[in-house]
Structure 1
Amino acid sequence: MAMPFFNNMLALLGAIGFWPSVVYFPVEMTIARLNIKKRSLKWLGLESLNFICFLLTLASASAAVRQITQALGQYKPFMYKA
């Protein structure tokens, strides 16, 4: 009731937190731990996976921002829908 567009806020927070915690840090730690040489085939594969997931994160964050702006435009405080 206090935040009628709570799902959209959760989508934005999830999109922001997805890439660094699930993709970027594990990929970079794997590269460092296994001593993968720069510009090798494995390094290019991991970095391309990292970049693709970053683009997906940007797309989902922009979609969440769009949904929030749409919800704010339709929101009327203290109005009850029956």
Structure 2
Amino acid sequence: MYFSYLISLAIAATAVAGKPILRARAPTNVNEDGVYISCNRPGVFAMTFDDGPYQYSWDLAKSLNAQGIRSTFFINGNNFV
């Protein structure tokens, strides 16, 4: 009897675990090509600088910081000295 109970419990747990409880909604700010077309946080925008570092990267970072603008720079390993 105890063994049957454990088997039933295991089957029920597997059935419940196999179904997603919450479904993720597709983002509304991404077009069909996967490009973000709008920001979901008011007052925020994103801008990229490709293939850095470059001679102006440090000056740009200092200028943004002086204005209280948080920034992230992605460094291309081929250009890093």
TM-score range, shorter chain: 0.3 to 0.5
Please report the TM-score for the alignment, with normalisation by the length of structure 2.
0.35
Of Structure 1 and Structure 2, the greater helix share is in 1
Please report the TM-score for the alignment, with normalisation by the length of structure 1.
0.34
Is the radius of gyration larger for structure 1 or structure 2?
2
Q: Which has the higher contact order (CA 8 A, sep 6+)?
A: 1
